[in-house]
Structure 1
Amino acid sequence: MDSKTRIYSLDYLRGLMASSIMIFHFCTWQIGEFSSSHILGKLGIYGVSIFYILSGLTLYKVYYKKFNAPTLAIDVKHFFIKRVFRIIPLLSLVSIITFFAGKHHDIERLLLNITGLFGFIAPEKYVAVGAWSIGNELVFYAFFPIVIILLKRHIKLFFLFCALMMVLSLIFSAYLLNPASPLGEPNQWKLYVNPFNQFYLFLSGIIIGYLIDQSKFAFLKTLETRTQSFLIIIVVFILVVIPVSGGEIMLVTGYNRIIFSILSILLSGLFYVYRGSFGSLINGFLKLTGDISYSIYLLHPLCFFFLQRLLKINSMWIIPVSIILTYISSYLIYRFFESVFVKLGNRLCSKQTDKQLI
C-alpha cells in the first residue's frame, strides 16, 4: 500500500498488538501466567486474532481493485511473489536461529518451517515461538485470490463461504476444543492452531473493508473524530472489564469465543475508519511499531532468551531491557533485512510486468 492510500490507523493498531503480545510473553515468562480475566491474558490470545483481521482488511484494500479480469493471472502471480518475499525470509531466519539455539535435530521440521509448508501440512510443528500464526497466514494467502474473485463476481458464494468458515470455527470452539483441558495440552493446541479455526477472522477483515467501502456502512468514515474515539474507548473498555473465569481455554471456547471475536472485529473496523491524531510523537512511534510489527512478533522471544540464557539476566529488569532490545533489533532487521527482500519482490514483479508489455 503506497503512502497515498495507506491507512496509518491500521499500522497503529498493528503496532499496538505486536507490542501487547511481546509484553504478554515477557511478563508470562518472567512472572507467571495471567488469568483469562487479565487484560494481558486477553491480548495474548486476541492480539493475534486482530492480526488476522488486519491482514484480511489490508489485503482487501490493496488487491480488490487490482484483481481485474484482463490482468488477473499476472496480478495473482505478483500477489504470491510479494507475499513470499515479505514473509518467508524472516520466518526462515528466525526458524533457523531458534532451531540451532534449541539444539533440535528434526531437519524435516526445519525444512517445513523455512519453506512455510508447515502451515499446510502440520500447523503445530512450528519452530519459532508464535510462528504457528504465520503458518496460518500462509494458508489464508493461498485462498485469498479465490476469495476476492468470489467477492467481485459471485458475492452470494463469497458470503456463503464466509458463513461456512464461521460455522466451522464454532464447531472448533463448541465441540472440538475441551474447556475442561488446558489450551496448552498438545491435542488441544493442535486443534486451536488449525488454520480453519482462525480463517473466519481473516475473512472478517475482508468483509469489514467491503462493507465500509462498498455499502451504506461508508457513513462510519464521516463520523466526527470524537465519536470514533468514543466508540473505540467503549469497545476497549468492554474488552478489558468483561469477566472471564478459568484458564486461557475459556477465552477461545463457548460464548466467549463469539464475544471476543466480535469485539476484535469491531475494534479493527473502528481503527479502519479512524482519522484522528494522537500527536506527532505518538503517531510517529505507533507508525514505526506498525512498520516493524512482523519483526517484533518473531524476534521478541529471541531477544528475551538471549538476555536470560546468555547474559544470565533473571531479575525484573529483563522485561524493560528485552523490550528495548526488541525494538532496536526489530528496526534494524526491518531496515536491512525485511525491506531488502520486499524491494526485491517488488522489483521482480516490475520486471515481469515490463516483459508483458514488450
Structure 2
Amino acid sequence: MSNDKKLDFLQALRGLAIMMVVLSHARWFFLVTPYQQTAETLLHGGAAGVDIFFVISGFIMAYTTKGNDGSPASLMRFYIRRFTKIWIPYAVIGIVTFAVAKGTGIFVHENLIWIAKSLIFIPPDAHSFLYLGGGLTDVAWSLNYEAYFYLIFGLSMLFARFRYVALFGWCGICLIAVPLWDHGHASLLVTARVNSDNAYLQLMTNPIIFEFLGGVIIGKIYCSSFVIRDALTARLVAFSGCVGFLWCILENIASDNGLLGWGGWAVAMVLAISLASKSTHIPFPAVLAWIGNISYALYLVHPLVNMVAKELFLHYGLMPLIPTIGHVILTTSISILVAAFAHSILDERLHVKIRDGLLASRLFRAPRISISIQSTS
C-alpha cells in the first residue's frame, strides 16, 4: 500500500472536520427564533472540527519532515510550502470577505491596520479570548495559531536530531513557565490568559497549542515501528476512537475547544485511526475524502457564502426562509461548489505556481548548515 493511500484517512478526517465546522456555523441562522436552543444543542459540537484540524496539522508536520536534514535551505523550503499554501487562498478570499462585510468602510485607518496585521497572521485584538479578533474572516483565528505553529516547528528543525527537544522546550516555556511566572499556575483551559495587552503573547501562551503537540506525538508514533499486529484489534481500536469522539459530541461531554474539551477526544480519535491504518484498510466514503481535499477552501468561503446569502434573502423579503433546514442545505451546498472552484484556482493553480517559482528561485537557496549540539554524556 502506498504512503498516499495509507494516509487517505487524514483527508477523510479533514472532510469530517470541515463539515462539522460548516454545520456548527449554520446554527447562527436560527438566532432569536424558537429553534435557537435546538440548533445550539444539535450543532454547537461541530466546532470540535477545529480541534481535529489542529491535531492533524501536528501529525502532518511530524510525518512530512521526518527526513529533514536540519539545514537552512530545508527550513526555507518548509516555510515556502507551508505558508504559500495557507496565505494565498486566505489573502484572496479573506480580503473579499472583509470588503463585503465592511463595504466602503474598508478604507478606514483602523480597518487597514486590521488587514495588514491579519495578512501577516498577527492577531488584531488582544482582549478577545482564544479568537483574538480573528482576522479577515471570523474563522481566521485558527490560521493565526496554525501560522505560529509552522513558525516554531520550522525553527526547531534547525536543531536537527534535537529538534523535538527544542520544540517541546519552547512550548513548555510558553505554555507552562510563562503562566506560572505571570499568575502562579498553568492551565489547559483555552480561556486562560496572561496579564498582557500583547495579542501575540496571548496566542503563544494559549493552551490550545497543546493540540498541535498532540498531533506531533501521534505522527512520531505513526512513523515508528509500533504496529497493531492483529487486523481485527486494529479495527476495534479505530472504532473505539470514533465512537468515543461521537459520544463526546452527542452527549455534550465536552463543550469547548482544547485538550480538556473536544481536543482531548480528537487526539484520541486521530491516534486510534492512525494506528489502525498501519494494520488494516479503513474504508471512508469517497465524498468525505473529496471534501477533505477542498476543506481549506471550504473553511474560508463558507462564511462569505453565508453572509451574502443572508443579505440577498433580506433584500428580497425572504427572511422567514433563513432559519430553516432548507437554508442550511442551500448555503452548505453552495459553499461546497464555491470551495471546489476556489480550490481549483487558488490552490491547485495559483498556489502551486507561486510555490514552485519560489522554490526554484536562487533567493531562497541557502548553504547547508545546521545547529549542532554536542552531547556531554
Q: What TM-score, normalized to structure 1? A: 0.78
Q: Which one-letter code corresponds to 1:132 in the other structure?
A: W
Q: Which one-letter code corresponds to 1:58 in the other structure?
A: I
- How far the C-alpha of 1:271 sits from its partner, in A, is 2.8
What is residue 302 of structure 1 aligned with on the other side? 304
Matches within 5 A, 1:19-58: 19-30=19-30, 38=41, 40-44=43-47, 46-58=48-60
Please state whether the residue corresponding to 1:269 is helix, strand or coil: helix
CA 1:63–1:304 in structure 2 vs 1: closer, same or farther (change >3 Å)?
A: same
What is residue 10 of structure 1 aligned with on the other side? 10
What is residue 214 of structure 2 aligned with on the other side? 204
Preserved CA contact (<8 Å) 1:172 1:191: no
What is residue 192 of structure 2 aligned with on the other side? 176
Preserved CA contact (<8 Å) 1:296 1:327: yes
- How far the C-alpha of 1:60 sits from its partner, in A, is 1.4
Once the two structures are superposed, residues 41-75 of structure 1 have per-residue CA deviations (whole angstroms, 9 ceiling, x without a partner) of: 2231x21111111111112111121x214xx2111
Compare the two structures and name the one with the higher helix fraction. Answer: 1
Q: Which one-letter code corresponds to 2:28 in the other structure?
A: T
What is residue 265 of structure 1 aligned with on the other side? 267
What is residue 111 of structure 1 aligned with on the other side? 116
2:346 maps to 1:337: yes
What is residue 144 of structure 2 aligned with on the other side? 135
Matches within 5 A, 1:67-78: 67-69=68-70, 72-78=71-77
Alpha-carbon distance in 2 for matches of 1:208, 1:200? 12
- How far the C-alpha of 1:209 sits from its partner, in A, is 0.8
Q: Which one-letter code corresponds to 2:116 in the other structure?
A: L
Q: Quick check: 333-342 or 136-145, which moved more? A: 333-342
Preserved CA contact (<8 Å) 2:124 2:135: no
- How far the C-alpha of 1:326 sits from its partner, in A, is 0.6
Alpha-carbon distance in 2 for matches of 1:344, 1:267? 35
Preserved CA contact (<8 Å) 2:294 2:343: yes
Preserved CA contact (<8 Å) 1:308 1:318: no
Alpha-carbon distance in 2 for matches of 1:164, 1:311? 50
Alpha-carbon distance in 1 for matches of 2:56, 2:212? 8
Preserved CA contact (<8 Å) 2:15 2:290: yes
Preserved CA contact (<8 Å) 2:80 2:358: yes
CA 1:135–1:159 in structure 2 vs 1: closer, same or farther (change >3 Å)?
A: closer
- How far the C-alpha of 1:196 sits from its partner, in A, is 3.0
What is residue 180 of structure 1 aligned with on the other side? none
Once the two structures are superposed, residues 323-358 of structure 1 have per-residue CA deviations (whole angstroms, 9 ceiling, x without a partner) of: 11011000000012221133124422552489969x
CA 1:355–1:85 in structure 2 vs 1: closer, same or farther (change >3 Å)?
A: closer
What is residue 184 of structure 1 aligned with on the other side? none
2:327 maps to 1:318: yes
Once the two structures are superposed, residues 262-289 of structure 1 have per-residue CA deviations (whole angstroms, 9 ceiling, x without a partner) of: 211111212323433446xx2x211111
Q: Which one-letter code corresponds to 2:121 in the other structure?
A: L
Partner of residue 155 from structure 2, selected from 146, 151, 175 = 146
Count of matched residue positions in the alignment of Structure 1 and Structure 2: 329
Gaps of 5+ in 1: 178-186
Once the two structures are superposed, residues 256-312 of structure 1 have per-residue CA deviations (whole angstroms, 9 ceiling, x without a partner) of: 852533211111212323433446xx2x21111111101111111111121111243
CA 1:164–1:99 in structure 2 vs 1: closer, same or farther (change >3 Å)?
A: same
Q: Quick check: 260-269 or 48-57, which moved more? A: 260-269
2:336 maps to 1:327: yes
- How far the C-alpha of 1:203 sits from its partner, in A, is 1.4
CA 1:237–1:127 in structure 2 vs 1: closer, same or farther (change >3 Å)?
A: closer
CA 1:18–1:125 in structure 2 vs 1: closer, same or farther (change >3 Å)?
A: closer
Alpha-carbon distance in 2 for matches of 1:223, 1:166? 38
Q: What TM-score, normalized to structure 2? A: 0.75
Aligned-residue Cα RMSD (Å) equals 3.6
Preserved CA contact (<8 Å) 2:298 2:339: yes
CA 1:34–1:56 in structure 2 vs 1: closer, same or farther (change >3 Å)?
A: farther
CA 1:175–1:129 in structure 2 vs 1: closer, same or farther (change >3 Å)?
A: closer
- How far the C-alpha of 1:164 sits from its partner, in A, is 4.8
Preserved CA contact (<8 Å) 2:305 2:331: yes
Alpha-carbon distance in 1 for matches of 2:66, 2:38? 40
